């Protein structure tokens, strides 16, 4: 059982990054397609219906293959035993033969729309809506990069922030999205060891930059700001301001420091391995047992 657990966790660690990456891309695709792409596709469908019936669609065959199935099967004819579809029923509706001009007109309109829906499914034209959505998002970003776009965005944000309920939610969501998609990246100046949370205990930190002016003016000494990542999740931690003189600069990269933190100190940089003996913590009880065994 232990062997199965070990190899299973090893395999999970190997495939999980790939699976999570795929899941993120699928989530992003569904988000754009659901809230933008599908609406564009519906607009394209409405425009196509004005043109007339599509010529590249076999009304009976394609409607049964690419239509939305219903819980009923064709009983007679060439397609006997084939599951019926919504579009097939619309295309071959008896209402098309109605003597009532209004009923016949609505039936013909529904038939044209059903044929175009089949064409969209058959030729994957729904992806065109998704691609147009991507282009629209790009041009929105291009517009917001201009002076007029930035001014318009600030005006819209100011208006939305003053709306009841929405104003309490929107600013928080905007902070998250600004952090995730900001073009200005968070940069660290180096890796340091700092006596934290007290002297005698050294913590690995990332040097971020200068402190706030109020703290610097009050302390009247050379201070720096340091981010102390948590282990094993370095995305959280503590931001502290300490005198520069108390820092010990480490000759390791930020990636090496993060690996050290994530592994809880197990994975050390090659330059920091040294020749120290194996870690051992004195245990009086075990030492007494060993001594008794040796005397026996």
pLDDT in tens, 116-159: 999 999 999 989 999 999 999 999 999 988 999 999 989 988 89
> Is pLDDT at 185 greater than 90 in this prediction?
no
Least Cα distance to 193 among 203, 185, 179 occurs for 203
> Is pLDDT at 270 greater than 80 in this prediction?
no
What pLDDT is stored for residue 226 in this prediction?
92
Report the C-alpha gap between 111 and 98 in whole angstroms: 14
Q: What is the mean pLDDT of residues 47-54?
A: 92
Tokens of 73: 């099967």
What pLDDT is stored for residue 111 in this prediction?
95
Beta strand pairing call for 69-73 and 223-229? unpaired
Decide which of 16 and 283 is more confident.
16
Where does the pLDDT of residue 289 fall: very low under 50, low under 70, confident under 90, or very high at 90 and above?
very low
Print burial letters for 156-188: b (CB count within 10 Å at least 16), e (below 16). Answer: eeeeeeeeeeeeeeeeeeeeeeeeeeeeeeeee
Instruction: Output the average pLDDT for the chain.
Output: 86
Decide which of 235 and 82 is more confident.
82
- Measured in residues, the chain has a length of 296
Q: What is the pLDDT of residues 216-260, one digit of tens each?
A: 888 888 999 999 998 877 878 889 999 999 999 998 888 888 888
pTM greater than 0.75: no
Domains and CATH numbers, the chain: 2-127 (no CATH), 190-270 (2.30.30)
Tokens of 31: 């988000």
CB 139 within 8 A of CB 50: no
What pLDDT is stored for residue 44 in this prediction?
94
């Amino acid at each position: 059982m232990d062997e199965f657990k070990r190899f299973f966790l090893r395999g999970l660690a190997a495939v999980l990054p790939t699976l999570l990456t795929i899941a993120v891309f699928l989530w992003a695709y569904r988000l754009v397609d659901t809230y933008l792409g599908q609406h564009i596709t519906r607009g394209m469908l409405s425009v196509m219906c004005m043109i007339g019936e599509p010529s590249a669609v076999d009304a009976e065959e394609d409607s049964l293959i690419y239509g939305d199935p219903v819980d009923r099967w064709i009983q007679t004819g060439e397609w006997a035993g084939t599951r019926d579809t919504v579009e097939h029923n619309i295309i071959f509706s008896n209402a098309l033969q109605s003597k009532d001009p209004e009923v016949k007109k609505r039936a013909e309109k529904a038939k044209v729309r059903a044929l175009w829906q089949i064409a969209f499914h058959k030729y994957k034209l729904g992806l065109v809506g998704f691609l147009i959505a991507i282009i629209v998002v790009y041009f929105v970003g291009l517009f917001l990069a201009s002076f007029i776009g930035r001014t318009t965005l600030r005006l819209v944000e100011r208006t939305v922030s003053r709306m009841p309920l929405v104003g309490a939610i929107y600013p928080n969501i905007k902070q998250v999205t600004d952090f995730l998609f900001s073009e200005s990246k968070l940069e660290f100046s180096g890796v340091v060891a700092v006596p934290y949370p007290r002297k005698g205990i050294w913590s690995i930190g990332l040097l971020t930059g200068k402190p706030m002016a109020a703290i610097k003016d009050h302390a009247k000494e050379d201070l720096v700001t340091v981010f102390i990542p948590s282990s094993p999740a370095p995305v959280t931690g503590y931001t502290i301001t300490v005198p520069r003189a108390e820092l010990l600069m480490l000759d390791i990269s930020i990636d090496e420091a993060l690996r050290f933190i994530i592994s809880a100190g197990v994975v050390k940089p090659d330059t920091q391995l040294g020749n120290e003996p194996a870690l051992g913590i004195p245990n009086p009880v075990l030492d007494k047992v060993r001594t008794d065994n040796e005397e026996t």
